[in-house]
Structure 1
Amino acid sequence: MNVPELLEAACLLVPEEIATENSITVNDVWEYLTQDEWEVALELLEELGDVRPLPLGFWETLARAAEQLRLERSAAWCHWRCYEARHGIIRAELTLPPAAEARRQTPIPGAGVMRPMWDIGHRTATGGAALDIARLWVEFSPLLEPGGRSSVRLAPLDPSRWTHLRPGQVITMHEDRPVAGTAVVLAVRPATAAPAARSEPAP
């Protein structure tokens, strides 16, 4: 399918009654499609996807449309949401120490390319921290500066090891053994689609 066909298919998966905070509905998206405003339609569909959980096929279709439009960040985001549909959503408030107090001197890239380790409470046989890996997506910003704070989303390498997390729990981020950031879990939501037959890598 080409871009307009993909976007039309995605529209059909959005209930007419849902609306964004700005009162955008899928009917507005159809209007933009009639004007060949494909990038605007894609952006609005992504916003509608945040109102309530939508089927895995919605995000898969949007990812294909974003790839055809060569919108790299949108495509990465839609693939990320596909992963969350299969494995669940983990959101947290992450705080980085100032550059003067940490090894990292540069901002963290926001679009899911970083794969740090996390202390989420697991322990080794000797009682030490058994760190787990999860990719990191910074919400609402392309970067997170040292000393900054932002809500983030996590895509675990092994989702089964993260099912015990609860809102309010404190976890720590590590790029090596020293603590590189502290996060408070905001939300843990279950998957909305059946997992793939075999585990796929985080997006």
Structure 2
Amino acid sequence: MNVPYLLEAASLLVPEENATENDVTVSDIWDYLAHDEWEIALGLLEELGDGPPLPLAFWESLADAADQLRLERSAAWCHWRCSEIRNGVIRADLTLRPAAEARRKTPVPGHGVLRPMWDIGHLSPTGGAAVSIAGLWVEDMPFLEPGGRATVRLVPLTPSQWTHVEAGQRITMHEDRSVAGTAVILEVHLPDGHHGRSPRTD
């Protein structure tokens, strides 16, 4: 399947009234496609994907196109968005512990390769903490330094474990038994069939 076809297929899934922050619409993107400006078209389609939710097929087409164009950052983001649609996404304000206080001395990679454990309040049969795994994407930053703070996106490995999580809740990040960071939940969007609580607006 070639790149122009994939980008055209994705474009057909975007409502005509959708627009980016710079008022670019899907009709503008067709102009770029007509002139074989594929990378520009892909970037603009990604921006349109930040608006009202678009279907899984949209992100799958963009991911395939980005893979074929060998645009690693775009490919990682589009595959990540596919994961969000399948498993849900939790946005949170994460603060990592300083290097002097934590086992990790290097930055956390921002593009979805890390899948840390999270203490979200579950208990094991023996009464200890039972952690849940979720992938981590750092918004607007390639990585997060120890002691740093950023808005992050979490994709649960098992969405059903996260149905009780709600905005304002504090959770902790772990890469081993020690606490690697603390996060405050901002929004919870679980897929259909997993009835999590809606984000609070207060």
Q: TM-score, normalised by structure 1?
A: 0.91
Tell me, yes or no, if structure 1 residue 90 matches structure 2 residue 87: no
Residues 145, 138 of structure 1: alpha-carbon distance in 2 compared, 3 angstrom cutoff:
same
Deviation per CA, 1:43-63, whole angstroms, max 9, x where unpaired? 111111110110111011111
Q: Distance in 1 between matches of 2:191 and 2:105?
A: 35
What stretches of structure 2 of length at least 5 have no aligned partner?
195-202
Letter in 2 for 1:128: G
Cα distance in 1 for partners of 2:25, 2:109 equals: 31
Give the fraction of aligned pairs with identical amino acids, expressed as a percent. 72
Alignment of 1:18 with 2:23, yes or no, is no
Task: Calculate the aligned-residue CA RMSD, in Å.
Answer: 1.5
- Confirm or deny: 8 A CA contact 2:4 2:38 kept in the other structure: yes
- Deviation, 1:31, is 1.7
Q: What secondary structure does 2:97 align onto? A: coil
How far apart, in 2, do the equivalents of 1:135 and 1:70 lie?
23
- Structure 1 residue matching 2:128: 3-state secondary structure: coil
Cα distance between partner residues in 1 of 2:69 and 2:47: 18
Deviations 1:27-78 (A, max 9, x none): 2211211221111111111111110110111011111101110112211211
TM-superposed CA distance for 1:89, in Å, is 1.8
**2: CA distance, partners of 1:52 / 1:190:** 16
Residue 161 of structure 2 is matched in structure 1 by 161
Aligned ranges 1:40-189 → 2 under 5 Å: 40-189=40-189
Question: Structure 1 residue 143: deviation in Å?
Answer: 0.4
Runs of 4+ with deviation above 6 angstroms: none
My pick for the range that moved more, 59-68 or 25-34, is 25-34
Measure, in 2, the Cα distance between the counterparts of 1:101 and 1:21. Answer: 41
**Structure 1 Cα separation of the partners of residues 190 and 117 of structure 2:** 22
Cα deviations by residue, 1:170-203 (Å, 9 ceiling, x for unpaired)? 11000111110001111111326x89xxxxxxxx
The gaps in structure 1 that reach 5 residues or longer are: 196-203
* Structure with higher RCO (Cα < 8 A, 6+ apart): 1
Contact 2:172 2:179 in 1 (8 A): yes
Q: How far apart, in 1, do the equivalents of 2:175 and 2:40 lie?
A: 37
Q: Distance in 1 between matches of 2:46 and 2:132?
A: 29
CA offset at residue 83 of structure 1? 1.4
Structure 1 equivalent of residue 4 of structure 2: 4
Asked if the contact 2:120/2:131 (under 8 Å) is kept, the reply is yes
Which position in structure 2 is the counterpart of 1:199?
Answer: none
